[in-house]
Structure formats: structure tokens, C-alpha cells
Structure 1
Amino acid sequence: MKFTDTHTHLYSESFDEDQSEMIQRATDAGVNRFFIPAIDSTYTGRMYALEKAYPEKIYLMAGLHPTHVKENYEEELSHVAQQFATRDFYAVGEIGIDLYWDKSSLSIQQDAFKRQIKLAKEYKKPIVIHCREAFDEVFEVLESEKGEDLYGIFHCFTGSKEQAQQAISYNMKLGIGGVATFKNGKIDQFLNEIDLNHIVLETDSPYLSPVPFRGKRNESSYLVLVAEKLATIYQKPLDVIARVTSKNADEVFFKRPA
């Protein structure tokens, strides 16, 4: 069985002591592809080094994370655009709106989100959305940008069934990770009503470890625990979960431009 981790921060400082061992554990568990979201320009070098070390496994994105949209965001957006002008990436991400930490930056977060969506459309790439306590605000932007050229992944989906259906209506797959294993995660209560063809797997490591590792550092090998939870939710064999969710990832990241 081969699994695809569609969202993992393998370049995080959390893995500085055991990055190679951690990637080997994931590989041994059957996780053979790692899609790597960006945060800001300070991590670009670490991302490139990771890609150089594991060229057959690593698939990079470029983007400005909403919690890093600060006073210098114009400079950061220029960095993202410059990267796309010089090389290829698999997505623009992770981008979006986060109102958990700072509501005062909403207007510049919205601006950065919209401009990065336009960049994705320019290069015919998917977007990977970060949304925290901002479903209405994210959906407002997606509504204004909707079309055949808008597609991607709603990373770390934690919303309601109605919000899941709305995200899917904008050509988004739902990124499902450790939250699906939480007792209070809630998404496990309706996920079986969402067609598996709309689902991709992710860890968001080193964050959001699945049960029984909740509260500890997450890593990509734990993706299998998420897949096992989905196998229970959907009442399907684990190999079907692996195959379908990897196919769904292919549809997003390797979509042929019209």
C-alpha cells in the first residue's frame, strides 16, 4: 500500500534532530510522497535542501501562510512570485485566513489570499487553503474567485457537513488529518456522507498528531492512523483508502491545464 501525505512540514525545526529517521519511518509505513507547504521566505532554504536530499519523494509548494501576513507582506508576496517565475511548484500554499491569533490583520490577510489565488490561476496551479476560525471569510473570497481555474485542497478541514459541501462546490478536496481521530473532532460524525473521491490524507506534521499520539509531535508515518480511521468511517479496506486518496491527490497536484 502506498499513501500520500498531502500536507507535512518536514523542514520544521521540530525534526532537526531526526529528520532522516522520521522520513524513513514514514517510508517504511508506506507513505511514499510528501507534499510540502510553505510558510514564509525564512523557510525557503530549508525547503530546497529537503527537496535536494529526497528528490523522488518531496513535492514543494510556494506561498505565504496567513499567520505570517505581517507589515512586510508585500515583500513576502514578491518573494513567492519570484519563486514561481524561476522554477516549478506543485501548488500555491498554504494560503488563506486565520483569525484565531489575530483578527486585526484580516484586511491584509484577505488581500494576500486573493493575490495568491490570482498567482495560482496565472500558473494553472491548485491552492492549498489554511482556514482557522474564518470559514465565512474564506468562503467569501472563494465565491469571488470561483471558476474552473480555481481548485485545490481545503487543508485540515474541521468544519460542518454543510461547510464541507460548500468547500467541495469550489472544486476543493478536503484534507483530513489527525482531527478525524479526536473524540471531539466531530467530522467523523458525517464524513461517511461525503464521497471518498473528495478526500485526501494529510498529517500537518509536526502539528495535530492523531490519537494515540495527540499532544505529541506529529510525523508523516502517523498518516496510516488517519487512513485506518477513514477505513472505519467509510467501512472500506485500508488499501482502498490508500488508493483512492492518492488518486485524489494526483487529480489536484498533477492536473493537466486546459
Structure 2
Amino acid sequence: MTPAPEPDKDFPWWLLVAGGIAVWMIYAVVADDLYRQVLTTLSKGVWITIFVTLVGFLSASIIGLLLATASLSNSLILRQCARFYIEIVRGVPIIVLLLYVAFVFAPALVAAWNWVAETVGFDPIRTRDFTLLWRAILALTIGYSAFIAEVFRAGLQSIDKGQIEAAEALGLSRWQRFRLIIFPQAFRMILPPLGNDFIAMVKDSSLVSVLGVLDVTQLGKVTAAGNFRYFETYNVVALIYLLMTVTLSMALRRLEQRLRQKP
């Protein structure tokens, strides 16, 4: 029986088809005045989408790593607190989390800050000073940190305990074991699902449009409502997201292949 070829060795026919569609859509954008106007308008929201994704993902990764280490801690309290956070947050849809953080958690956070400010003599802030952009970033950070924590936990647990015991026998501290032995090996296991979460956040960043943040999706809705050309407008919106996600997907796959080739 002939073994099936490995997926990475298949010729990327899908990429040729997707590239052909992208070339056709890019030509339509270049050749049509309406498409060019829509692209010019939506390009202003690309930077908001990139900013929200990068800041949200970096913050979520830091919190996720802390949660993963807490869930593997010897302390029962840390383990239970980490599991509580992860299970509760993962059970709430991202769009519900966005609305909750924007209209419930953020005002409560401002009120708590003002209470502390009155006690220590700091200047109070207004709720509207906490912009919707940063509320959206906070919501995505909270939501994705729970998923990323599970990715880190699985990667850290994949390391053979014998290596950790050998590092202990050599006299390495806990931080040295993590930095030199555990994390470099776990990173290869973590990278594929972590990359998937990053691409998912690029797409989920479109949900910030429900708060009125002027990202690509929100500008697309405003543009379509103004010119009533929904077909052309949402073609450009889809093209922008596809270019970002497919490019990231190919770059991550290339990085995985390079890491796999290293000893």
C-alpha cells in the first residue's frame, strides 16, 4: 500500500488558485475607480487592525505564560486560581467579552482607580478617558490569554522530566532550567498552535467594530452604508483580511520548517 505524501511536500495548488483570485481582485481594485476609493478609505483601518492585534497578542502571550506556569505550580492556590481564570474566560464568547469589558468592567475599573486616587491624592479620571480602542485591546487580551495559557501549558508539559532532573543535578536554578532547558524545547511544540492563535486574533480583531473602533471592518460598514456598493466594499474588506492571514500563515509555516531542520 502506497503511503500518503506528507502535507508539507504536496505542491501548493490551493495557493495557485488563491493567488489567481487575489491577482484578479487586485487588478479589479487598480482598474476600477470605485474600488480604489474604497481601498484608500479602508487602508486607514489596516493600521488599527495591526495595532490591536500586535498589542493584544503580546499582552495575551505574557499573561498566558504566567497562567501556564501558575497552573503547573506546586502551590494549590496558584493552580486553582489559574484554572478558574482559564475555564471561565474560555467559556465566554469573544464578542460577549468585548461588550462586558467595554461597558461593565472598564467603568468598574475606572471607579476603583478613582477610589484609590482619592485615598492617595492622585487625580481622578473619567470613564470616557478609557477609550474604546483600549477597552477592545483589554478584552482581546483577557480572552486570548486563556487559550494561549493552555498552549503554553501543553508545551511545557511535553518536556521529558528526565531532562529537568538532570538540570537539577547539575545545580541549575529554577529560572536557569526554564530559560536554558525547558522553554527552548517547548517553543518548537508551542509555535504551530501559537501561530494559529495569532492568525485567529487577526480575524477576531474585526469584532472590535461592534464598539465603533475604526478598524477595517468598521470602515467597511461605514463606507458601504454611504455608497450602497456592498459588493465592491466587502470584496476589498475580504481581500485585506485574506492577504494578512495567508501571508502570516505562509511565514509561520516557513518558520516551522526552519526550526524542524535545526538539531
Q: What is the TM-score of this pair, normalised by structure 2?
A: 0.21
Q: By percentage of residues, which structure has more helix?
A: 2
Q: What is the TM-score of this pair, normalised by structure 1?
A: 0.21
Q: By percentage of residues, which structure has more strand?
A: 1
Flag the structure with more relative contact order, 1 or 2, with Cα contacts below 8 A and sequence separation at least 6: 2
Tell which structure's C-alpha radius of gyration is larger: 2
